Amino acid sequence: MSEEIIQHWLHEVSRTVAANDLTGHLNLISRRVALSGVPGFETIGYDDWARQCTHEFNQRLIRSVQYRGLKLRAATPERIMFKTYETVTATDGGQNSQGIEVLIEKEPDGVWRVVQERILPEAESRHDGFIPGA
């Protein structure tokens, strides 16, 4: 069941990006979100994340987001933590790939949203098997 929820959430992230559906995309992000591991920033919260998404969607800067690999870390009926490898493709053809650890939570309205995300160091992504050569 947890993997089905994760796959659905990842699919919705990818779908909303491909459809340039900002409202749908932001609905996948909790107002309590904390993103860590971004060079130069301690933690990024909802307002900064939403501002960045709004800019990227309005300017149509992102073509797609894809996920490869999945490692379930922990799961309860209301929270699921997992790792995956994310590739963001820009409309100019550039790509950014990185391992991420994600905590999604079923919020009171029944929607699963990301409450915590950590960009993994390259060595951890290699150790987890997301990057060849581990």
Residue 134 lies in a domain: no
User: What tens digit of pLDDT does each residue of 1-58 get?
Assistant: 999 999 999 999 999 999 999 999 999 999 999 999 877 778 899 999 999 999 999 9
Q: Domain for residue 133, yes or no?
A: no
52 vs 71: CA distance, rounded Å: 27
In a domain, 132, yes or no: no
CATH number of the domain to which 14 belongs: 3.10.450.50
pTM: 0.92
Summarised one tens digit per residue, pLDDT across range 76-120 is 999 999 999 999 999 999 999 999 999 999 999 999 999 999 999
Q: Answer yes or no: is 109 within a domain.
A: yes
The DSSP code sequence of 29-92 is: EEEEEEEE--TT-S-B-HHHHHHHHHHHHHTT-EEEEEEEEEEEEEE-SSEEEEEEEEEEEETT
Nearest to 85 by CA among 116, 37, 125: 125
Give the residue numbers spanning the domain of 102.
2-127
Structural domain contains residue 27: yes
If one counts the domains in the chain, the total is: 1
Residue 133 banded pLDDT, cuts 50, 70, 90: low
81 lies in some domain: yes
